[in-house]
Amino acid sequence: MALEQVTEKNNDRSTTSTFFMLPNFVLSLIEHVLNQALKLDPKLSKKLNEVKELRLVVEVRDWQQTIQLVFADKKLHLYTAQSSDNADCMISADIDTLIALKNPAMLTQLIRQDKLDLQGDLNIAQTYSNAFSSLDIDWPEQLSKHIGDGPAQQLYLHLTSLKQQNSKVKKQLATTLTSLCQDELAITIHPLELEQFKQQNRVIKSQVAAIEQRINALLNIVTR
Amino acid sequence: MNETPQKTTHFGYKTVAENDKASMVADVFHSVAAKYDVMNDLMSFGVHRLWKRQTIASSGVRKGHHVLDLAGGTGDLTAKFSQLVGETGQVVLGDINSSMLKVGREKLHNLGLVGNIDYVQMNAEMLPFPDNSFDVITIAFGLRNVTDKDKALRSMYRILKPGGRLLVLEFSKPEHEVLSKAYDFYSFNLLPTMGKLVANDSESYKYLAESIRMHPDQDTLKAMMDDAGFEQTTYQNLTGGIVALHRGFKY
């Protein structure tokens, strides 16, 4: 952490100076957002009740941060963690791997691929993964509490169509950019050309291997 | 006739009779209790919440634990501990000052936190609990107001369970000279003015600034905890040492 200075004064005493308390600040914001999500999707609380008061410790390797997560008193509590002591379940992985856990089916696959270390009760990690992957907030319903049913539905439909248009434009832009790079500017090649190039490479490679074998055989005859 | 010389201690920068300090500190907190939370947010720009989060993060508190929040005041730490220990745990909010306890109890009741919290008016030097009673003891911004700190630390050690830990969150000595000077200017010039404007009490906030300067620095407090019997004592400077979080275990 750039904002944290860690000073070891001697073997039995460690002094950590945390000036801006940044990890705590960020975690308090995340905690607030998650607790808002809990309010907006009542099913989430029910799912997390299975792991009530159990401690999940998550080590984010590339951020060098360890976070503890507890669902207690119908709220999520997030704190920094010094170690995995007292954890009911501990996960250690890079942030990309943790994001991949949005799909609960990936959990065991990621463990097998050695991308994720898990100690303790697997069920706790699975429950959290399942709960957040199935997060379903009824936005029109939530909006209607503030602006009324009609406008909420209109706004929701408008935003949905905006989202669809946005993804359509993004897709179109990507296609245009690809064709510009391949056909107009000729700075990249077409995937088929790449495949053809690979095939040619493989043929040359096998021919080189055959020549190498023949040279070795001839060398053996000469040196005898 | 020879009179026994009266023992003295400090009350901010003043030297007072040891027996008088507790009541003088009590007067300060009776005076500020109603505006305590608002002033905390104002004085620390809200950072006291992050210092307290760090204390909870370091406490290792979990389901079923028995926790004593000493000098718990308006119950910020107790509120979180109460949620984390669950129905099978217990939190005691202890404070020597009845006004602070009253404000704390009202606040926690309004938050719907009932059932696993006890409120006890107590003196940290003579804690009214059996030996080995608590898994975690915290004292946040309270130790500097205690008359005999060594006695209080020994008392805390006595009532901790083996394996339990004490966390002392307290103002301390800034690590850098520049920060120290800026902090001094803030404490002695702006703080009493803010106290006057918000709580109509500049003297209490002058005492706050003075008592912080008279409080033992990081290494001295660590040595005091070691002397009281705590093991693996460490401290963590927060916000450049303006506040330090000391942690010690009983084995």
What are the boundaries of each domain within chain B? 8-175+206-249
Say whether both A125 and A115 belong to one domain: yes
- For residues B221 and B123, what is the distance between their CA atoms, to the nearest angstrom? 19
Nearest to B190 by CA among B43, B87, B7, B20: B43
Residue of A nearest to B223 (CA): A13
Say whether both A172 and A200 belong to one domain: no
Q: Which residues of B touch A18 (CB under 8 A)?
A: 54, 236-239
Q: Does the domain formed by B8-175+206-249 have CATH 3.40.1160.10? A: no
B105 compared with A188, residue with greater pLDDT:
B105
pLDDT class for B5, splitting at 50, 70, 90? low
Instruction: Give residue B162's pLDDT.
Output: 95
pLDDT class for B3, splitting at 50, 70, 90? low
Q: Which residues of B touch A82 (CB under 8 A)?
A: 57-58
Instruction: Give residue A14's pLDDT.
Output: 41
DSSP A121-185: -HHHHHHHHHHHHT----HHHHHHHHH-HHHHHHHHHHHHHHHHHHHHHHHHHHHHHHHIIIIIS
Is the CB of B50 less than 8 angstroms away from the CB of A28? yes
- Tell me: is residue B2 an annotated ligand-binding position: no
Say whether both A124 and A205 belong to one domain: no
In the A/B pair of chains, how many CB contacts fall below 8 A?
75
pLDDT class for A2, splitting at 50, 70, 90? very low
pLDDT class for A7, splitting at 50, 70, 90? very low
Instruction: Give residue B224's pLDDT.
Output: 95
Q: Over the stretch B121-130, which tens digit does the pLDDT of each residue have?
A: 999 999 999 9
Instruction: Give residue B1's pLDDT.
Output: 46
Residue A20, pLDDT > 70, answer no
Say whether both A89 and A106 belong to one domain: yes
Least confident span in A4-13, A142-151, A187-196, B9-18: A4-13
Residue A146 falls within a domain, yes or no? no
A8: which 2 tokens? 């070891």
Does residue A212 sit at the B interface (CB-CB below 8 Å)? no
In what order do the strands lie in the sheet containing B117-121? A4-10, A13-18, B231-238, B243-249, B160-171, B134-140, B66-70, B90-95, B117-121
Nearest to B126 by CA among B155, B147, B161: B155
B113 compared with B198, residue with greater pLDDT:
B113
Instruction: Give residue B158's pLDDT.
Output: 96
Residue of A nearest to B234 (CA): A13
Least confident span in A116-125, B82-91, B185-194: B185-194
Residue B108, pLDDT > 80, answer yes
Output Rg (C-alpha) for chain B, integer angstroms. Answer: 18
- For residues A173 and A99, what is the distance between their CA atoms, to the nearest angstrom? 26
The residue range of the domain holding A155 is 151-188
A153 compared with A29, residue with greater pLDDT:
A29
Instruction: Give residue A45's pLDDT.
Output: 86
Say whether both A12 and A123 belong to one domain: yes
- Tell me: is residue B219 an annotated ligand-binding position: no
**Mutation choice for A interface testing from B50, B58, B218, B230 by most A CBs within 10 A:** B50
Residue of A nearest to B241 (CA): A17
Q: Which secondary structure element, helix H or strand E, spans residue A209, and what is its range?
A: helix A191-223
Residue of A nearest to B48 (CA): A21
Of B63, B86, B237, the CB nearest to A16: B237
Is the CB of B236 less than 8 angstroms away from the CB of A27? no
Mean pLDDT score, A5-20 = 44
Total domains present in chain A? 3
Residue of A nearest to B240 (CA): A19
Instruction: Give residue A201's pLDDT.
Output: 95
Query: What value does the mean pLDDT of chain B take?
Result: 87
A196: which 2 tokens? 């053809």
Say whether both A12 and A121 belong to one domain: yes
Supply the ipTM of this predicted assembly.
0.78
Q: B-side interface with A, Cβ within 8 Å?
A: 47, 49-51, 53-54, 56-58, 60, 62-63, 80, 82-84, 86, 175, 218, 222, 232-241
- For residues B187 and B222, what is the distance between their CA atoms, to the nearest angstrom? 24
Least confident span in A165-169, B121-125, B198-202, B214-218: B198-202
CATH code for the domain of A118 = 3.30.1050.10
Nearest to B172 by CA among B183, B161, B163, B162: B183
Residue A139 falls within a domain, yes or no? no
Say whether both A117 and A194 belong to one domain: no
| Residue A88 C-alpha, separation from nearest chain B C-alpha, in angstroms | 10
pLDDT class for B189, splitting at 50, 70, 90? confident
Of A19, A70, A85, the CB nearest to B240: A19
Say whether both A52 and A9 belong to one domain: yes
- Tell me: is residue B234 an annotated ligand-binding position: no
Say whether both A176 and A204 belong to one domain: no
Say whether both A198 and A118 belong to one domain: no
Is the CB of B237 less than 8 angstroms away from the CB of A14? no
Interacting residues of B125 by C-beta distance below 8 A, sequence separation 6+: B146, B147, B148, B151, B152, B155
pLDDT class for B32, splitting at 50, 70, 90? low
Write down the H helix ranges in chain B: 18-32, 36-44, 47-59, 76-85, 98-110, 149-159, 177-185, 191-199, 202-214, 218-228
Residue A142 falls within a domain, yes or no? no
B247: which 2 tokens? 């942690």
Least confident span in A46-60, A176-190, B57-71, B206-220: A176-190
Say whether both A8 and A110 belong to one domain: yes
Least confident span in A101-105, B69-73, B165-169: A101-105
Residue A73 falls within a domain, yes or no? yes
A82 compared with A119, residue with greater pLDDT:
A119
| Residue A39 C-alpha, separation from nearest chain B C-alpha, in angstroms | 16
B229: which 2 tokens? 């019997």
